[in-house]
Structure 1
């Protein structure tokens, strides 16, 4: 009997340990400032469970050798307190690309060592800097951001003891791996973030829209970029860039298609020969440029055209200069305005009367935009945005590999 009791106690202790390690959560959020207008949460306990399940269901992963540098500090031993919910936020009226997260520290020196091992450069008052990331560290907190623009505001926020202003995770997340929340006053619009085998999916709660057949159809075509949007979606996307296009232009429908091509660019320069006669030198370089066609339907074409003129987006040669890739032509016909690249252009397909944006990965991007040339973006197959009625979905599809995303 004693053996049974001992076994039962051991099992109970193990189950209790598993519960606290993988399931028990502190759902209070200390690090969401009051003027945050975008909040992203990641459920770290759920991520742990998903990782363990993926390891257990992929036995070949068990026997892979450990290729990590034993001298390098791991995240679990980096001096950071791993929160139950990683809290990432964007502040109202800050730049679109400025996002931050705050982490509590157990060991200041360990965390600084981790930064140095990952090639972050200590620039004193500017923080630790690497590429597009900035980290400010004190003895208690680490603030990680894509800019240091709001570090003074965040430092002031931390001085006011954020633990006294706890917000519950239940306001933002309902069982998904992560969440994206858009905040406008007292209104909060929540979107679930889930990590599948080879895709990241973001969609609003109770979403019943099925975009699979549309994605399959778009994926079969060779175009780099295809989009079709109504006035509501045009307004929402343009608002992200602080430009209310729909109200200013009366555009109520947009359709666009684009391909990427590599072309020879002629460079003409002048020099002098031995007799000081001016000579022309012609050289060539390969550049990447898009071939595209854009179709704008408007209820007031004169208003649209005058708005473009006022913004100085149409020059004397009838080129649309807001698109930096020249040359192109812009023309007006009844209630439509079209913009086409000169020469070949990506011909628009039939109008689907749906709202979507589809971007296919293309190796030509990496030679033109060096910041895109990294292993994560190279593995992306396509990005899709779709909207039907009140349902919104974003899918980031990655190339199929031996292991699911969480194990890569």
Structure 2
């Protein structure tokens, strides 16, 4: 038999197989409720393709490890139906920290065994929890969230109603690893998520020149935190914390600088001796505290001060109580309100007169986060800085990792 007659069909079959495995995607989004105001999509096939390309081009990773092999195998055989697009959403009028997702299951019993192997606690009624991750299994579906407060509503809206609005991935994502979209009525504002060798970018613009210029100027400093935000940006961020600062307070912009420092903290406790006499006991521990100055510019400093007092954000000792790192001192001047840490106040950085937040990594940050796992601390320690910038209608977030031998997708 002519070898060409065999090879050509085999090549065609291989090409078709590669297309369906790597490029063909089901773009139907069935699991986003009508009352969602934000959606995150992850293109699983694109991320998988990036991972495979990085793995192939880094031979040092080919040997792998038994631990990684078992981890990837357990996920593959966990009973989950891996989607082409992972759909994560935020429900309107819920806390900013509450995000949800729904995945289909091939085998719910196998998935339950998988959860138990990961040490998820069985809460009964097909509900499971580990830390701040909550799961509810409903037939061949699993609802996952950072809270379980909206589980019942989501179950009724998406899993028990056959006439749900079906969306298309092209409405949210365009050939990037992921996207985050904000929904307001029929208007959708999309931001791409791009995973690069040593950074992650979230943006709605390809013009990064102005933002790179900001970063270059900020990198000449050494403060842990530097920020400048105008009224519109204050409004955006205050919504996430359920605080109405921008409008009622008359605050027009905020400037802040902060550093971290490790200090000795004295803890006084009491115990009793053999004669039942009270004995004072002192213990010492190292804690991480910020030193900061926050300048809130205002159109009407008197009204701003009265607003903070009415909200009980400023107490009788003129401490700004909404900042958990006490003690501090708030004072009013002709331009607004200034809040400073009293132990060691610092000077504000030179102003760029732009909108930005710049957080530089500091070993005191992740060493003090005792609730994080070793792997989470490792990831945080690998970050160089986090930058947020806004110019007119252009937004850009950059998470920059330290340079390494491996790209992020293989490191994290």
Range class of TM-score, shorter chain: over 0.9
- Tell me the residue number matched to 1:390: 393
SS in structure 1 at match of 2:50: helix
Relative to structure 1, is the Cα distance of residues 205 and 76 closer, same or farther in structure 2, using a 3 angstrom cutoff? farther
Matching of residues 287-326 of structure 1 within 5 Å: 287-326=287-326
In the alignment, structure 2 segments of 5+ residues that lack a partner are none
> CA offsets, 1:294-327, max 9 Å, x none?
1111111111010011112222322222212222
1:55–1:61 CA contact under 8 A, matched in 2: yes
Report the counterpart of residue 157 of structure 2 in structure 1. 157
Alignment of 1:11-90 (within 5 A): 11-68=11-68, 70=70, 73-90=73-90
Q: Residues of 1 paired with 2:292 and 2:121: CA distance?
A: 41
1:348-375 CA distances to partner (integer Å, 9 max, x unpaired)?
1111101111112222234543234523
Q: Structure 1 stretch 107-116 or stretch 212-221: which is displaced more?
A: 212-221
- Classify 1:139/1:227 alpha carbon distance in 2 versus 1 (closer, same or farther; 3 Å): same
Partner of 2:93: 93
Provide TM-score, normalisation by structure 1: 0.93
Provide the secondary structure at the position in 1 that maps to 2:247: helix
Match of 2:136 in 1: 136
Q: What is the TM-score of this pair, normalised by structure 2?
A: 0.92
For 2:212 and 2:72, locate their aligned partners in 1 and report how far apart those are by CA, in whole Å.
Answer: 43
How many angstroms does 1:181 deviate by? 0.5
Distance 1:215 1:336 in 2: 28
Per-residue deviation at 1:67? Answer: 3.6
Deviates more, 1:319-328 or 1:383-392: 319-328
- Listed as ranges, the matches of 1:358-397 within 5 Å are 358-373=358-373, 374=376, 375-397=378-400
Give, in whole Å, the separation in 1 of the partners of 2:257 and 2:163: 50
Shift, 1:272, TM fit: 6.3
Equivalent residue number for residue 233 of structure 1: 233
For 1:393 and 1:71, the matched residues in 2 are separated by 34
Q: CA RMSD in A?
A: 2.3
CA shift digits 1:120-167 (9 cap, x unpaired):
111113711111101111331111111111111121123335585321
CA 216–12 in structure 1, closer or farther in 2 if over 3 Å, else same: same
Work out the number of aligned pairs and report it. Answer: 408
CA 1:285 to 1:87, structure 2 compared with 1: closer, same or farther past 3 Å?
A: same
The 5 A counterparts of 1:182-221 are 182-221=182-221
**Unmatched 5+ residue regions in structure 1?**
none
Superposed CA deviations along residues 182-227 of structure 1, whole A, max 9, x for unmatched, are: 1111111110001111111100155555422322332342211111
The separation in 1 between residues aligned to 2:204 and 2:139, in whole angstroms, is: 38
Aligned equivalents of 2:327, 2:65: Cα separation in 1: 54
Say if 1:279 and 1:140 are closer, same or farther in 2 by CA, change over 3 A: closer
